[in-house]
Amino acid sequence: MAESDNIVVEIAEKIFADLADPQTINNDKKNSWQAPLWQALSEAGLPLSWVPDDLGGSGASLADGFALLNAAGRFAVAVPLAETMLAGWLLAQANIASPEGEMTVLPASPKDRITIDADGLLSGRARGVPFAKAAKRFAVLAHGKDSVSIALVDASKGRIESGLNVGYDHSDTVTLDKVQAVTIKAAPKGVDQTTLMLMGGVARSLQIAGALESMLGISVRYSNERVAFEKKISKFQAVQHNLARLAGESAAALAAATSAADAIANATSFNDEVYLEAASAKIRCAEAAEKGGGIAHQVHGAIGFTIEHILHRYSLRALAWRDDFGSESYWAVELGKLVARRGADELWPLVASR
Amino acid sequence: MTAALRFDPIRLPPECEQLRKEVRAFLAEEIAAGTFSPFKPNREDTDVPEFSRKVGAKGWLGMTWPKKYGGQERSFLERYVVTEEMRVANAPTRRFFVADRQSGPVLLKYAPEHIKMEILPRICRGEICFAIGMSEPNSGSDLFAAKTRATKTDGGYLINGTKIWTSSAHIADYMIAIFRTSPPAKENRRHGLTQFLVRMKQPGIQVNPIGQITGQYEFNEVVFTDFFVPEDHVLGEVDGAWKQATSELAYERSGPERFLETYYVLTELVRAVGPNPDTRSAEGIGRLVAQLHTMRRMSVSVAGMLQAGKEPVVEASIVKDIGTVWEQQLPHRVRDLAAFVEETATNRETLERQLDFAIKTAPKLTIQGGTTEVLRGIIARGLGLR
Ligand SMILES: Cc1cc2nc3c(=O)[nH]c(=O)nc-3n(C[C@H](O)[C@H](O)[C@H](O)COP(=O)(O)OP(=O)(O)OC[C@H]3O[C@@H](n4cnc5c(N)ncnc54)[C@H](O)[C@@H]3O)c2cc1C
């Protein structure tokens, strides 16, 4: 595990180590670990990290919050921590206070749109909303005729069709039909659906990178334990090379995700450079989830394909996280369009901007 | 549990951005003056000595070295910026690049003072070219199988044997080479190799060109027959070159030149598709740009580690592995996408010419400077598997 270098991560890692041990969770078929874990995270103020004190949160920096998400990925934590953090962040953009409890954000896909009518009522359908079923409230980004609004909505006001993503976590369809918000305010300039998707995408990138780091760790350990042909399998060159490639994918994911997080944490707006960083992180981390996860399974052989083994907690989640807030193919198209629009001679200056 | 591989998101400091502007302005002037063409892939057999001298005069060679040797005492990050701008512009760096990246740092570390004073300032002025003499006909990946012998004689050594695949030996003024000074020891087969500074263009050395599949001449066979090397040209420890050679390779591994060698085809593809690409082209370009951006951020991060005095051997190997595999695939991916470019694209011919060259270049990218397999072995060692 990476050494924690900040207090938020230190606190989170302690809680995860105590209450979110992947093996214990994997053995617990009744999910009785969820409530105590959420409670401990809430008491430490972590779900509302990105909400300033005066809006009910703990006012951690963007950078600390991103590092926390990376740690959550290393434990493949399956409670709506990232979702509540994103919701709190979105609400804070419009100066809306965050209540206690689980939240999630709508929409969670760049293709879905929530609209706001002349009476201020919200309508629309959002698919693949992570943890909608567990959420008490939604933070909603909604489009009016020429305006963007941010709203806090009671989850009971939406119609929820539950679904599960490939990682067995809730990923639901939420329909709002002329719903009255608890609070609704205009979004500040520069915060729009793209901003939300990029922010969500970077959150997922950090989680994927964390999951890959753990997959590398358990794969190396397993290869040093498993004996075949009278040798540890780690001594076979083919296995070593597979693990070296996994290390490369894990490193690339972490580099892309932390670079994007750093870009956002230090940016004054979501300009083209930040767009490049955030979109690239989602694209590259999703590719790494596919390639790296594949290798981790290959190294583990059949045991890693069992539900008893913890590998799937990381590998399937990393695959599932690819889909949230825009898949890699979506972002690749958008990034490609951006690059083309700027023109050939502006490509290198864009890449070399930081 | 493995040590986490961290690539901290280094941001290039303001002095780098200023420098970048200067390098771009310089390159634009040279292009306008016809010194080289950015649209023609780097013709590696085109040696442009005046260009080297101009780069030297700008203070962009030996940038990180002490001033007393002609250096500028600037940072690794500043050097990084110069390297990537040169590479992206397809500038003719052949004559000075090896000396600047690799040979100079070796001399700084291991050469006696009078040799440093003599040679390093000339590297900084862009006057001299270096070659690397590691490989031999039966010793490539397995460096320690090298057989070319250095036999002790009055005041120095006599060299007999053959080096091969020596890039630029035909234009080089010097070579840094490893020769066998003792047989390998039973307990350590890496023992017995020594690093030497060799003055080229002397009696006893014959350089025979070897053609490459790109149609260029870059490789050479270098035959030594009773070639004399004076005592003070020994670099570092006698019989102990293996310790030195591994750290030397770290310099060779993670720079921007390790993923930008075929980059020009990507720029040209973007030019060819124009401002409104179809979905397939847009996705293809977007993915390639995301991959490029990620590697560059990793590479900048390694430059930051070097600047901080670390020895990021595993990290550098990872960047080289991913980077070279990427630059090798790039021309083929661009070719895929170019099939959909309109016939009327004004740069279509340029793109095709570039692709032709890049596709011929691609096979070498995962071999030069240590093969993919060797790099993955180093990474595996770093993971504690060996
Ligand atoms: C363009 C170019 C420029 C070069 N310039 C120079 C130069 O200036 N100076 C210089 O000294 N050399 C130079 N080289 C040589 C280069 O360093 C060697 O080609 C490289 O080290 C591989 O050695 P080899 O060609 O003998 O291949 P081999 O070592 O014979 O390898 C052949 C194949 O076997 C694999 N292999 C070998 N051993 C192992 C192992 N233990 N485990 C797994 N796989 C293995 C290799 O990875 C490779 O795929 C250059 C090469 C190229 C292509």
Q: Which two tokens stand for residue A83?
A: 């979702």
The pLDDT of residue B248 is 66
Contacts of A266 in chain B (CB under 8 A): 11
d(CA A110, CA A337): 16
Answer yes or no: is pLDDT of A37 > 50: yes
Over range A103-124, report the average pLDDT.
97
The pLDDT of residue B6 is 87
**Closest chain A C-alpha to B181 CA, distance in angstroms:** 31
CB within 8 A of A288, min separation 6: which ones? A208, A209, A212, A249, A250, A252, A253
pLDDT in tens, A272-283: 999 999 999 999
Ligand 1 pocket, B137 CB below 6 A?
no
pLDDT in tens, chain B (386 residues): 345 688 999 999 999 999 999 999 999 999 999 999 887 765 554 689 999 999 999 999 999 999 999 999 999 999 999 999 999 999 999 999 999 999 999 999 999 999 999 999 999 999 999 999 999 999 999 999 999 999 999 999 999 999 999 999 999 999 999 999 999 999 998 999 999 999 999 999 999 999 999 988 899 999 999 999 999 999 999 999 988 877 666 666 779 999 999 999 999 999 999 999 999 999 999 999 999 999 999 999 999 998 998 888 899 999 999 999 999 999 999 999 999 998 889 999 999 999 999 999 999 999 998 999 999 999 999 999 98
Sign of the CA dihedral running B354, B356, B359, B361: negative
The answer to whether B103 touches B174, Cβ cutoff 8 Å, is: yes
pLDDT in tens, A90-112: 999 999 999 999 999 999 999 99
pLDDT in tens, A233-265: 999 999 999 999 999 999 999 999 999 999 999
Ligand 1 pocket, B364 CB below 6 A?
yes
Exposure string over A118-142, b if 16+ CB within 10 A, otherwise e: eeebbebbbbbbbbbbbbebbbbbb
List beta partners, residue B228: B158
The answer to whether A116 touches A143, Cβ cutoff 8 Å, is: yes
* Residue bearing tokens 């002095």: B15
The pLDDT of residue B3 is 52
Closest Cα to atom 13 of ligand 1:
B165
pTM for this structure?
Answer: 0.96
Contacts of A344 in chain B (CB under 8 A): 267-268, 270-271
Q: How many CB atoms lie within 10 A of CB B6?
A: 17
Over range A128-144, report the average pLDDT.
98
DSSP state of B136: B
% of chain A surpassing 70 pLDDT: 99
d(CA A42, CA A46): 6
CB proximity B292 to A under 8 Å:
yes
List beta partners, residue A124: A114, A176
Contacts of A343 in chain B (CB under 8 A): 270-271, 275
Q: How confident is the model at residue A1 (pLDDT cuts 50, 70, 90)?
A: very low
The answer to whether B201 touches B131, Cβ cutoff 8 Å, is: no
Of ligand 1's listed atoms, the one at least distance from the Cα of B139 is 26
Of B41, B91, B113, B38, the C-alpha closest to B330 is B41
Side-chain half-sphere CA neighbours of B191 within 13 A:
8
A39 three-state secondary structure: helix
Ligand 1 pocket, B361 CB below 6 A?
no
Whether residues B298 and A252 touch (CB distance < 8 A) is answered with yes
A and B: number of Cβ contacts within 8 A: 186
CB proximity A256 to B under 8 Å:
yes
DSSP state of B102: I
What is chain A's mean pLDDT, rounded? 96
Q: How confident is the model at residue A2 (pLDDT cuts 50, 70, 90)?
A: very low
- The three-state DSSP-derived secondary structure of B345-375 is CCCHHHHHHHHHHHHHHHHHCCCCCCCHHHH
Tell me how far the alpha carbon of residue B299 lies from the centroid of ligand 1, in angstroms.
23
d(CA A306, CA A23): 13
Q: Is the ipTM of this complex over 0.90?
A: yes
Ligand 1 pocket, B249 CB below 6 A?
no
Q: Given its phi and psi angles, is residue A190 left (phi above 0), alpha (psi -120 to 50 degrees) or beta?
A: left
Q: B229 or A30: whose pLDDT is higher? A: B229
Q: A30 or A115: whose pLDDT is higher? A: A115
How many angstroms separate the Cα of A253 from the Cα of each of A34, A278, A306, B203?
Answer: 28, 12, 26, 53
- Which residues of chain B from 158 to 217 reach within 8 Å of chain A, CB to CB? none
Q: What is the dihedral of CA B341, B347, B348, B349, to 10 degrees?
A: -170
